[in-house]
Amino acid sequence: MRRLTKDKFSYVFSPFVEPAYTVKPGETFIVETMDWTSDRLKTEADLPKLLESPVLKGSQPLMNPITGPIYIEGAKPGDVLVVDIKDIKVAETGSVMVLPGYGLLPYDFKEPKARIVPIRDGKVIFSDKISFPIKPFPGTIGTAPEREAISTFYNGHYGGNMDCADLTIGSRLYLPVFTKGALFGLGDVHASQGDGELITAVEVAAEVALTLNLIKGKPITRPRFETAELMGVIVGYRPFIEGMQIALRELINWLGDYGLTPEEAYMLCAMSHTFTVRVCQMYQITFPQFPPYPCALRVAISKDVLPKK
């Protein structure tokens, strides 16, 4: 199987970056990814150097490198890029950190701290008393927006740093295409993450096996996803309630493919206990050089309650 190596990467989703790789629709391949620190944190002793590196210093953070951009032959604005996640193999160790000024509790902890956690037999070994199964997914994944370069640290209508844990092995992601070739990229894999990514997840280097395809003539406005059980929409937006409204409208539109009117789709989401809201990303950054961080959320409903197409 073809391998796209992580030595070709970008820190932005942008229509102005030259493609690093080209693939054909229907092709299955492996993407190597670095962790969010660009593989700079190997031991806990590396934390002071990380804090002074371009990852966290400067007007724009060099976080979340994405392998790519990946040019998809035949992709044009208005298309939908279909991403099937076939497999994810994570490194043997990951890291988790507390960073003052970052996360949902940016003022509560005064000293930075990192922990390197082993990953063995499909489990994260947090301590000699605590371990739990991995559930890996790419935290950052998307296409190039129409006319700007956006840091891979952020998220939006093109995807980006969504941190949606539903995008694990066996899931399908639908991304809008805004530029020729789509200029797709992914990285920032998490071996496991609690909802909201409170500060960091279990951050790992990884290898992700993907199949990419295109849908013509049915544009979408926001990322959508399917698992074996769910169909849902992911939105990065601030304030949270407006992001929720955007996501729900997009899901209502999608439910129209099942023969439901907008009113029926709205009522079904309101009535069904299978409709859920998941907070994917609630990051806060207190430094003035960073724009406000958009919260990421997803809404979803079980496919079992829907009529057959």
CA angle 83, 88, 92 (to 5 degrees): 155
Give the bridge partners for 209, in sequence order.
Answer: 30, 87
User: Residue 237 is inside which H or E element, if any?
Assistant: strand 230-237
pLDDT (tens digit per residue) in 73-110:
999 999 999 999 999 999 999 999 998 888 889 899 99
Q: What is d(CA 101, CA 163) in angstroms, rounded to the nearest whole number?
A: 20
Going by C-beta distance under 8 Å and a sequence separation of 6 or more, which residues neighbour residue 57? 51
* Nearest residue to 138 (alpha-carbon basis) of 175, 100, 106, 178: 175
- State the fold for domain 2-216: Jelly Rolls (2.60.120)
pLDDT score at 59: 59
Question: Of the ranges 104-118, 152-166, 276-290, which one carries the lowest mean pLDDT score?
Answer: 276-290
Whole-number percent of the chain with pLDDT over 90 = 84
**208 contacts 90 by C-beta, under 8 angstroms:** no
Looking at residue 282, its pLDDT comes to: 84
Query: What's the pLDDT tens digit per position in 55-78?
Result: 676 656 678 999 999 999 999 999
Tell me what pLDDT residue 54 has. 75
The Cα–Cα gap between 172 and 11 comes to: 24
Q: What average pLDDT is seen over the chain?
A: 94
Stronger pLDDT, 289 or 175, i.e. the higher one: 175
pLDDT band, residue 52 (cuts 50/70/90): confident
How sure is the predictor about 290, in pLDDT bands with cuts at 50, 70 and 90? low
Q: Which of 156, 173, 138, 146 is nearest to 68 (CA)?
A: 138
User: What mean pLDDT is predicted for residues 287-305?
Assistant: 84
Please give the pLDDT value at position 237: 86
Instruction: Please tell me the predicted confidence (pLDDT) of residue 60.
Output: 62
For tokens 């406000």, name the residue: 292
| 160 φ, ψ (degrees, to nearest 5) | 95, -145
Are the C-beta atoms of 297 and 240 separated by less than 8 Å? yes
Q: What's the whole-model pTM score?
A: 0.95
- Residue-level pLDDT at 289: 61
> How many angstroms separate the CA atoms of 221 and 101, rounded?
33
Supply 173's token pair: 């992601």
Residue 90's Cβ-count burial label (10 Å; 0-12, 13-18, 19+) is buried
User: For 202, phi and psi rounded to 5 degrees?
Assistant: -80, 100
DSSP 307: P
3 state DSSP class of 7? coil
Sequence ranges of the domains in the chain: 2-216
From residue 97, give the alpha-carbon distance in Å to each of 28, 144, 165, 174: 34, 29, 19, 31
For the beta carbon of residue 309, count every other beta carbon within 10 angstroms: 6
In this prediction, residue 9 carries a pLDDT of 97
Please state whether the peptide bond connecting residue 65 to the residue before it is cis, i.e. omega within 30 degrees of 0: no
pLDDT of residue 268: 98
